[in-house]
Amino acid sequence: KAGVTQTPRYLIKTRGQQVTLSCSPISGHRSVSWYQQTPGQGLQFLFEYFSETQRNKGNFPGRFSGRQFSNSRSEMNVSTLELGDSALYLCASKPGAGPDYGYTFGSGTRLTVV
Amino acid sequence: AQSVSQHNHHVILSEAASLELGCNYSYGGTVNLFWYVQYPGQHLQLLLKYFSGDPLVKGIKGFEAEFIKSKFSFNLRKPSVQWSDTAEYFCAVNAVNAGNMLTFGGGTRLMVKP
């Protein structure tokens, strides 16, 4: 069973640009969440999606957005990139919307903003 | 909002030593609790989880954790560590009434000397 797939693995962007990151959840998983991991702030919640609906959003500026498609694949977008957006962005999926599952995480996309 | 504290940022042990990593959270309501591990160069993996029932939960690779509600704690233990346990360990909390958002602790880097 394939795991959570995130593309691309590495990305270098310039300040002011925008970026789109992609996540394919485990087959059959309908709940997808995104997290940002940095050395200073640790792991911070970005968004949660279920059945194409955003159920929860973390404390990030509006430059961070996301969506989920009907096949449960998800994308997140960051516009007007800042140096501080450099981080490992992790996607996680689980079967349903209920709390009684543990998330399976992908390997992440490492974004570097220069 | 909930928060999670992991008191030990770095732990160094010799093989066969016993391990206990502390995790405390602040949230007055019902929670689900998790321990994740991140081996060098790998993605986050679920070690164990607590939702309800027996407060002593057993996970993979010989790890266990005990939920003590009165102390808001969920400490991770292993009787005898191996060199292969070298990794970063993250405690995470999900407040049941707050969707599926995970709040992570800052992580504990464990180094096991052979």
Q: Which residues of B touch A45 (CB under 8 A)?
A: 101-103
**What is the Cα gyration radius of chain B?**
14
Please say whether the beta carbons of B26 and B2 come within 8 A. yes
Please say whether the beta carbons of A108 and A10 come within 8 A. no
Mean pLDDT over all residues of chain B? 94
pLDDT value of residue A1: 62
Position with higher pLDDT, B2 vs B17:
B17
Provide the 8-state DSSP code for A61: -
Could B100 and A94 be called an inter-chain contact, meaning their C-beta atoms sit closer than 8 Å? Answer: yes
pLDDT value of residue A100: 67
Please say whether the beta carbons of B55 and B73 come within 8 A. no
Closest CA to B6 of B46, B28, B34, B40: B34
pLDDT value of residue B106: 96
Please say whether the beta carbons of B90 and B35 come within 8 A. yes
Residue of A nearest to B6 (CA): A42
Give the percent of chain A with pLDDT over 70. 97
Residues of A with CB under 8 A from a CB of B: 3-4, 31, 33, 35, 42-45, 48, 55-56, 58, 90, 92, 94, 97, 99-100, 102-108
Letter for the amino acid at B29? G
Letter for the amino acid at B88? E
Residue-wise pLDDT tens digits, B24-68 = 999 888 899 999 999 998 999 999 999 999 999 999 999 999 999
> Looking at residues A85-105, what average pLDDT do you find?
88
Question: Min CA distance, A89 vs chain B (Å)?
Answer: 11
Q: Which residues of A touch B46 (CB under 8 A)?
A: 102-104
Mean pLDDT over all residues of chain A? 94
Cα separation of B81 and B57, whole Å? 18
- What tokens appear for B17 in the block? 């030593």
**Number of other residues whose CB lies within 10 A of the CB of residue A83:** 9
